Amino acid sequence: MTLRAPPPLIGTAGVEVVADRRKVLLGGGLVLGFAFAAVKAHARSTDQRVNNAGAQPVSNKDVADVAGAGFVGFKPDAFIRISPQNQVTLIIPNVEMGQGIYTGECMLIAEELEVGLDQVAVVPAPPDEALYKQPLLQFQGTGGSTSIRGAWEPLRKAGAAARVMLIQAAAQGWGVNPAECHAERAQVLHLASGRFATYGQLVNAASRIPKPQQVALKDPSQFKLIGKPAPRIDTPAKVNGTAMYGIDIMVPGMKFAVVANCPVLGGTLAGVDDSAAKAIPGVLQTVRLPNAVAVIGEHFWAAKQGLDACRISWNPGANAKLGSPALWADMARVAQAGPGAVAVQQGDVAGAYKGAKKQVEAVYRQPFLCHAPMEPQAAVVHVTGGGAEIWAGTQVPSRAQAFAAKVLGVAPEKVIIHNQLIGGGFGRKLETDYIEQACAIAKQCPYPVKMVWTREEDMQHDNYRPMYLDRISAGLDADGRPVSWSHRVAGASVTARYAPPGMKPNGVDPDAVEDAAEPVYGVFPNMLVDFVQWHPPAGVVVSWWRGVGPTHNIFVVESFVDELAHAVGKDPVAYRRDLLRNVPRARAVLDRAAQAAGWGSPLPARTGRGVIVQKCFGSYIAAVVEAAVSDEGDVTLRKITTAVDCGLTVNPTLVRQQLEGGILFGLTAALWQGITLKDGRVEQSNFNDYRMLRINETPPIDVIHMSTANPPGGIGETGTTAAAPALTNAIFAATGVRIRELPIDRALLKKGAKPQGAAVLAPLGVAAAAALAQGLAAKAAEGEP
């Protein structure tokens, strides 16, 4: 899908640019008309923006035409294409899944290329590791809040280099000094002579100019676009039904597949009697896969009716009796036995712990989580002689291409991936299982197939955010400051499964300890953070989920710091301020959030405020959640306040959107979500038993955006990492009950309920914790309670 940028609203930076141009150009009759045209383009109203549909989908063939080798025009690099007709098309390396990256990355290129957002069309990058590898991830992917951080320099440099080449081409043609020319709104101007040329007129000449090795980038004070709340370019099509997601693709002759995966994770298909299905009008055929059955129909409904009519028998396999309590017990055993792979170790942790004025320890547990994006898993596959075409949304186009090729038994270059808008990613579309399964089905069909998973399949056959078990302890000095800090993370490793080269040689999964090994407070004087990898049973697959490692670790660290503050009778904000005395950016966001939240002002009974501060993905965030707890244990969100310093900001609208949405995503999980297994099957099935926050449960959110001159930080996941501990700290303030396990168990919050501490797991004894902290498992027996 190609998106054409809608004209910006009146009142954005575009008006300033145009006003300047009119002042400059009024003297030159030749260019006057153009100036007025530009003004007119900018003066289009929101009504027109809606009715003109703004971003318009065009055929996928056009994407290939622009991004492919056959493009005719100026193509200075992987990202910029300018046609002789002056159509500027930007190939965006990251995928649009709601975070607004089409707009953000477009702004980076357009800023230096000197084109307006209303002048460009946008296409998603095709699979190509060489051209579109994400600099921070080191593969072609979108995730980990890396997009803007990775693209910040390369995309601006691409725009600047192309602009230099276009200016040079024009100057050569006019026989003038390039320094006397400048570019704006997709044209080069020589003011002294009143000459101008559109970029389209310069494509041939610019193509002959050598690409400059070094280009100067604008000083931030010169930015026209970056830093402005430019309207999103993908949204007009999303309010009038014309936006196309993977699930919406229709190709000629296409049929529809609905799938039943073996309900027991890791189980296989034993057999299927589809005689009743075949009698249903519109049912075409049944496809048998090693672990699933698909029925193909003339439409989803026929296929679904056919599938429901099938009598399927399964081989449940080794997980037939698997349940969540057994998984927790196994993980606890592994976590205790160790040994841990050391992420950070310094000082004498055990000695400092023993000698500390006060010792605090806790165990935290977090559940499997399902991604559950609003768009269920879907892909359209057309297998042709020797290759295939695939239409689907994916966060990893090259990986999708390679894995699809493997299923199809063809070379990757024979697989064409048409990437689509994604109806919510959150990490789900870093996985390619749905594309691979659609390929396996389509391979057996003589027509293109659209495979659509039901919501039940989506929830029961996800690759889940790992369960985590964290044991953490600290020794505090007379001032209440930690002098010893020990944190053992246990959980399945997503990195080991998904990107094995990312594992440290000693067995640490950097994702699993991210922001535990380097808390926002810095490394404590005597500190040990280690990781024990737990291996889930085959068939239970773990995956990255919004906020990745930090979502789990910020909950542990910021809950525990709150415990420390209360253990020494200090105010949670004041306690953090003291620990952050050498971290001014963190202190600044903390102060702003606390002030805006009315920290310290009186609240009704069983109502409290919880605070967190974090440095995640290169951004500093503080958040305060205000919540009330009823006598029955029901939790009501009253107010959310967050202050963010993400450095230089590309588009403040996107920052606010991501903070708001991210924090609600995290609160939703903390309040309701946990995937559990019984008899090898996922117990949750749809939104009725895997609850989502709704509008009537959503409080006002105040985002205080503190822009600083630091390099841009990531933003897409920062709200999510902040959410759970801010809420559970608020619940502690309201009730005195410390929540150490997610999702929040309301039974613990009933007035007068007995405190249960860290769920069913007793904390380690003091000596055992100290021994573990030394990595000396043999000593663990000594003094064990």
Partner 1 sequence: MVAIVLNVNGQMRQAEVPPDMPLLWVLRDVLGLTGTKYGCGIAQCGACTVHVDGRPVRSCVLPVSAVGNAAVTTVEAVGQTPAGAKTQKAWLELEVVQCGYCQSGQVMSAAALLARTPSPTDADIDIAMAGNICRCGTYPRIREAIKRAAKS
* Cβ pair 627, 636 in contact under 8 A: yes
Nearest distance in Å: CB 454, partner 1 = 6
Smallest gap from residue 286 Cβ to partner 1 (A): 19
**In terms of CB distance, is 434 or 560 closer to partner 1?**
434
Nearer to partner 1, 457 or 511 (CB): 457
- Nearest distance from C-beta of residue 242 to partner 1, angstroms: 7
Q: Which is nearer to partner 1, 317 or 662 (CB)?
A: 662
Instruction: Report in angstroms how near the CB of residue 135 gets to partner 1 at its nearest.
Output: 25
Q: How far is the CB of 633 from partner 1 (least distance, A)?
A: 21
φ and ψ at 626, to 5 degrees? Answer: -110, 125
Nearest distance in Å: CB 283, partner 1:
11
* Separation between Cα atoms, residue 261 and residue 258, nearest integer Å: 10
CB atoms within 10 A of CB 215: 17
- Is residue 531 within 8 A of residue 343, CB to CB? The reply is yes
In the bound complex, what is the minimum distance in angstroms from residue 304's beta carbon to partner 1?
A: 8
What are the b/e assignments for 316-353, b being 16+ CB within 10 Å?
bbebeebbbeebbeebbebbbebebbbbbbebebbbbb
What φ, ψ does residue 484 adopt, rounded to 5°?
Answer: -140, 140
Residue 726 and residue 610: Cα distance in Å, rounded? 5
Closest to partner 1 by CB, 376 vs 475, is 376
Distance in Å, CB of 370 to partner 1, minimum:
11
Beta bridge partners of 529: 344, 487
Beta carbon of residue 58, minimum distance to partner 1 (angstroms, whole number) = 16
Nearer to partner 1, 87 or 698 (CB): 698
Residue 240: CB minimum distance to partner 1, A: 6
CB of 281 to partner 1, least distance (A): 5
Q: Which residues of 611-646 are buried (b: 16+ CB within 10 A; e: fewer)?
A: bbbbbbbbbbbbbbbbbbbeeebebebbbbbbbbbb
Rg (CA), the chain: 28
Closest-CA residue to 614 (of 713, 480, 697): 713
Q: Please list the alpha-helical segments (H only) found in 673-776.
A: 718-735, 766-773
d(CA 413, CA 433): 19
Residue closer to partner 1, measured from CB, 101 or 327: 101
Residue 576 burial (CB < 10 Å; 0-12/13-18/19+)?
A: buried
- Beta carbon of residue 700, minimum distance to partner 1 (angstroms, whole number): 6
- The whole-angstrom separation of Cα 711 and Cα 152 is 9
Cβ closest to partner 1, residue 582 vs residue 696: 696
Q: Which is nearer to partner 1, 103 or 735 (CB)?
A: 103
Choice between 2 and 319, CB closer to partner 1: 2
Q: Look up tokens 């559990």; give the residue.
A: 676
- Residue 90's H or E segment, with its range, is strand 88-92
Cα 128-129-135 angle, rounded to 5 deg: 130
Q: Quick one: 244 or 568, whose CB is closer to partner 1?
A: 244
- Of 420 and 495, the one with the shorter C-beta distance to partner 1 is 420
Distance of closest approach, residue 382 Cβ to partner 1, in angstroms: 17
Q: How many residues does the chain have?
A: 785
Pick the closer one to partner 1 by CB: 147 or 187: 147
HSE, CB side, 13 Å, CA atoms: give it for residue 681.
12
Answer whether 144's CB lies under 8 Å from 426's CB: no
Residue 231 vs 317, nearer CB to partner 1:
231
Euclidean distance between CA atoms 83 and 69, whole angstroms: 14
> At 234, which helix (H) or strand (E)?
none
3 state SS of 507: coil
Short-list 683, 697, 762, CA closest to 727: 697
Q: Please state the φ and ψ torsions of residue 34, each to the nearest 5 degrees.
A: -65, -40
Q: Which is nearer to partner 1, 126 or 662 (CB)?
A: 662
CB nearer partner 1, residue 276 or residue 693: 693
DSSP conformation letters of 567-624: HTT--HHHHHHHHTTT-HHHHHHHHHHHHHTTTTS---TTEEEEEEEEEETTEEEEEE
C-beta closer to partner 1: residue 52 or 707:
52
By beta-carbon proximity to partner 1, the closer residue of 37 and 250 is 250
Q: How far is CA 122 from CA 82, 90, 189, in A?
A: 12, 5, 25
Burial class (CB in 10 A: 0-12, 13-18, 19+), 747: exposed
Give least dist CB 423 to partner 1, A.
Answer: 3
CB-nearer residue toward partner 1: 166 or 659: 659
Instruction: Specify whether the CB–CB gap between 383 and 444 falls below 8 A.
Output: no
Measured from the CB of residue 193, what is the shortest distance to partner 1 in angstroms?
41
The single residue listed with the structure tokens 């305060």 is 624
Least separation in angstroms between residue 679's CB and partner 1 is 23
| Euclidean distance between CA atoms 748 and 746, whole angstroms | 5
Tokens representing 764 are 């380690």
Backbone angles phi, psi at 561, to 5 degrees: -60, -35
Q: CA 317: distance to chain centroid?
A: 34
CB of 45 to partner 1, least distance (A): 9
Neighbours of 250 (CB within 10 A): 10
